[in-house]
Structure 1
Amino acid sequence: MIAAPDIAAAQPAAPREASASADAATRADAFFRRGLRLYSDGKYVEAESELQSAWELSPTFDVAYNLGNTKYQLKKHREAAQYLSHALRHWPLMKAAAKLKPTAEKRLAESRAQVGALVVTAGVAGAEVMVDGKAVGKAPLEGEVFVEPGEHRVEVRLEGYGPASKTVKVAKGGTAVAALALPPLQSEGQEAAPGARAAEGGSAPGAAAGAPVAEMPPAVPAYPGPEPQKRSWVPVIALGAASAVGLGVGIGTTVASNAASDDAREQSAAIIQGRGQCVRPESAWVGPCEQVRNDASRADTLGNVARVAFIASGAFAIAAATYVLWPKPKRSESAVALPVVHSDGAGIAVMGAW
């Protein structure tokens, strides 16, 4: 027989137990070898009987694999799926067995497609699981329980608990889940819980006899409130940079405006010294008078630009200071401070929701 390598050494057995175990292993090996010969000869019915006997004495993966193959040849797909799935769950890491694994997986898939599968949970370890009145193992089950398509009655039982059952329907090739909960039994003399005594007509401590007992609602933890958001310095940096740019533009345009104004004054003085005038200038003074008007207009325009730049610079500086000094908003609050600039001045607009 092909056997999986030992993982841990077993404790020494008593002489009688060791003798019985060795005898069972010898008999199982004999059944197994006869089953393999019969299988090779195509005598699947006889091979099934021999391998079944080997399984009852030694439920190892190699017996499960060959018994599953035999069931597969006999078109007993439900049993084939059960034994082949067991073999694959316990497949050893052996080179000699590796080449057989694809066959097991292929035949399991083919058998699995012809039957249904049940996934049974009992909630309590050790509970006996029964399908259609037949015991299939103890919870938690090692794998799926393969059944014929249709309705099936699933039951779980365990001493100290009430039984639980459920009828499930499974389709061909499908899987159904039967999740069962075992209710614990109350032993005699065990004091019932306060809620149970009240339900049975008793009174809770502190309540008048016969008075209804109100069920206290579960305590709700106090809501600590939204956490304050962390202050971001990106807006401060951006607003400070914008204020500096506005200040620079204001200074630059002020200097340019003053230069243009000086040019206009000098040109006007030269016209006056030459006994000219620009109200109705003579042809000799038309060009100089036009230059005076252009310089004056340029000085006025640059002066307006400088004023707007200074206002914007101040507005950005105020916005940065407001952002820094404004109380940190909660997560449920959202506030935005924006500078408002116009020709007459500037300010801050605060928009948000509280």
Structure 2
Amino acid sequence: MRVWTRGRMTAPAVLLSAATASSLAGAQSGPCAGPIHAGVELRRQRRDAEALAVFREAAAACREPRLRVQMAEAEQALGQWVPAARDLREALAVPGDSWVEQRRPRLLEELRTIEQHVGGVMVVGGVPGSEVLLDGERVAELPMVRAAPAVVGTLRLEVRRAGYYVISRSITVEAGHDAQESIEMRPMIAEQAPPPAPIAREPAPAAAATVVATRGAAPRDTARLPPEAGSSRRSWALGLGIGAGAALVAGVVALAVREGRASAFNDNPACFEYQGAAFGGGECERAQAAVGTTTALAIGAFVAGGIAAGASIVLLVTGPDRPRETARVVRCGVGPGLIGLACGGTF
């Protein structure tokens, strides 16, 4: 894995590895002799990657500790410190193996050299089932019961889980120590759309007034409505519509500013976020604060604009019609002749 391929062997380690390989070449016997001999010859030609492939292929059928030692030597030469330490520990843990016992002091010295390049990472907290990655390679799953071996140096730790924001941070691993990292994962919440504005029902038309005219009396029109009522409602509707437009424009501007500050934060390699706090310098903190402020302003502007627009529509729909001449006018007077009555009207 890429996370384990950091660095190359030091000069003392190369000499110790070569001495071990030479002694192994002269002590081979049994079914593992062929692969071990072929791998040792490749290593003498400094073709360590090819030798490691031969050893690993033979490991499926050969369980002798000396093959594990050869695997560890090749991994050490390639800078794969974590698997090298694992394979050498497994070889030293086999009880009663005469070949290992004859070389135990030298193998222990080599193990101490390898362990100078190996530490561990322990992640505490998080959501069960989350994946733990070091430099992009999966090494464990939460909850962790033991530290995951890791090469010494600066690594990128990531914790992933579907439906949660990714935890990503840089950590430093020291030889012989476990780097403990506490995390808190936040779930992703889907944004909910605002409820639709209520549908206003158009009121039933008012019944036309009846005008009664008497002989000789002037007709009266009682069907006229006060013009102040309709005018006031229309003024309110217009004002709310203008306010809604201004609020929506302000929301769009705040959203554009937010995206700009968020891009500045994400594009800065020094900036990262941990438990809601920004790290990486003053510029990172100002960018995060600007993102939070503009987000709140955009949400407030959109909500206010939506409410104002809905209220404006309701006032326009439910407002009274313009005053109309809906009265029935009846006029009566003296008709032709001595006794008569003539009436006329507009309906």
TM-score by length of 1: 0.34
Larger relative contact order, structure 1 or 2 (CA cutoff 8 Å, min sep 6): 2
